[in-house]
Amino acid sequence: MENKHSPGRAGTQQAIYILIILLGVSSICFSFLDGVKTPDRAIEHDSSALGKDSIASKEAFLQAYTVLLSPRCMNCHPSGNIPLQGNDSHLHTQGVTRGPDGRGMYAMKCANCHQPENTPGIHMPPGGPDWALPPAGMKMVFQGRTPRQLARQLLNPSQNGGRTRGQLIRHITSNKLVLWAWNPGAGRTLPPLSHEVFAKEFTRWIDLGAYLPDK
């Protein structure tokens, strides 16, 4: 009869105990890791995490396009060298023109009337930090652009101020002149979407593949 306390049996029992302990530790570790969630912001602008969706991407841009072609945005992105004014986007009075750096020509500088903040009163000069048009070398025209044309232009660093897609998102979400559109001063209409919705749709357009709208 085998001695139940023989070295062979004791070694087997010890190995079983070690295996049980290791399995328990592994279970605890996997449970912990499973509970660690990646913050939403970590993948917020990662299109690979969201997957590409041409239909949803195009639809998102069409929503953002309604803001980009509203007077609050388009008036500072004209097709010519004269800024636009008012809710009807008429040519700027006083003979103002773009100038090489977008800040006006000669004595007619944008900053002469447009201060860092809105001037109080209805239809008084609006204001924001570094008020200007895009420079002559990169006009970034919105006026007259179809959705497809404008989307293509926004994605092209040689036409969008040298911005990457991530930088475009940061620009429309945090740039103070962009944010001014939702605080334009008395007598001016707001864009058709809130800034929160606009930023969401613009970001979705890029995150889902930055597809160009159909012709």
pLDDT in tens, 101-126: 999 999 999 999 999 999 999 999 99
Q: Is residue 2 part of a domain?
A: no
Q: How far apart are CA 4 and CA 140, in angstroms?
A: 88
* Structural contact between residues 74 and 84, judged by C-beta atoms closer than 8 angstroms: yes
Q: Is residue 1 part of a domain?
A: no
Range of the domain at 133: 43-207
Contact yes or no for 172/178 (Cβ under 8 A): yes
pLDDT of residue 13: 54
pLDDT value of position 142: 98
Our count of domains for the chain comes to 2
Check whether residue 105 and residue 199 sit in a common domain: yes
14 & 65 share domain? no
Task: Tell me the per-residue pLDDT of 162-213, one tens digit each, with 9 for 90 and over.
Answer: 999 999 999 999 999 999 999 999 999 999 999 999 999 999 999 999 999 9
To which residue do tokens 């009869």 refer?
Answer: 1
The model's pLDDT over 43-78, given as tens digits with 9 standing for 90+, comes to: 234 444 467 999 999 999 999 999 999 999 999 999
- Give the residue among 155, 162, 159 at the shortest CA–CA distance from 209: 155
pTM higher than the cut 0.85: no
Give the pLDDT confidence score for residue 131 in this predicted structure: 96
Same domain, 176 and 192: yes
Q: What CA–CA distance (Å, rounded) separates 140 from 150?
A: 9
108-109/104-105 β-pairing: antiparallel
